[in-house]
Structure 1
Amino acid sequence: MKKYKVQNLPFIVPTNDGKLIEEHFGLASIKSELSIAHMVAPAKWSEPFQTPEFDEYTYIIKGKKQFVIEGDTIILEAGQSIKIEKGARIQYSNPFDEPCEYLAICLPAFSMDLVNREA
């Protein structure tokens, strides 16, 4: 048995907000204790506030992304990264005029059951 897995066909998560989510490892693709996803958030995109039950690491490849974490507004640009600890109330958005391309890593793996999005 090989001690590696190559991901050639990530799972494309269906969305209705124009965001591209390609999960390479996680619960919807190659099963893993963490999830790794390549994402592109379109210009003017946002999500509701949430309080995830997982740590999330984000690395910005292109563009900018805004995070409102526990009342603090943080804007990251290409080459910057952030770790957001589980239990933090957060809103992700791209209020800018250009798409934002980034990688997201969640531990434990991303699950809608663990996101706790607000209505």
Structure 2
Amino acid sequence: MPQILIDHSPDLDFDVTGFAKEVHQLIPQVVNTRVEDCKTLVRPAAQHLVGDGASTEAVVLVEIKILAGRSVEVRSTLSARVTELLRAYVRVAAAFCVEVTELDRETYVFVQHSGQ
């Protein structure tokens, strides 16, 4: 925890690794966690569609999953700061969505598997 999922349009010229590393540094500034606990998956889409398909606008969707119990203000601040960071990394016309979702503490399970 936190878990960061980044979905983006195919062929988007976007330093997603640099962005993810900065997100990992940013999250502990807002949420009580450590950089070492941040985990990101990047999922370039095979294709994307905006509206009726006439637009060539790129799409970047970021979901940050954190344990439940943080205030609306904390979650809102995190969303806003990640959105601003996206503006610095994506240099083409794009639609952004940043969502902070909560993981239910009673049902969330995380295991550090050694591979043995």
State the TM-score, normalized to the length of structure 2: 0.22
Return the structure number with greater helix share: 2
Which has the higher Rg, Structure 1 or Structure 2? 2
